[in-house]
Amino acid sequence: MSVKVDDSQLPPKIQKKFRKGDLVKVDREKYSNSLESKASDPILPEYIFEGPGEVLLIKGDYFQVRWRRPVPDVWIKSDHIVSY
């Protein structure tokens, strides 16, 4: 016996804005108005706003981004990222 499920009962599908390997940068305006900015160093390096950074991993609402510089990878909330 199979049960037919109405589409309205299914959870909404999440549209992914970015995927692994995409080139991104941080949107200064979105980041500066966020809770994360208030919990971080007030002076951030300019290269994160200029880009490009490469998306390495995606976990929930956060992206691990690698910059093309000799610096550690960082986790950034997806709301603060824009395409390069």
Report the range of poorest mean pLDDT among 11-15, 16-20, 50-54, 65-69. Answer: 11-15
pLDDT tens digits, one per residue of 63-81: 999 999 999 999 999 999 9
| 17-83 classified as CATH 3.40.720 | no
pLDDT tens digits, one per residue of 24-44: 999 999 999 899 888 888 888
Strands in 1-84 per DSSP E: 23-26, 53-59, 62-67, 74-77, 81-83
46, amino acid identity: E
The domain limits of the chain are 17-83
Residues 6+ away with beta carbon under 8 Å from 30: 79, 80, 82
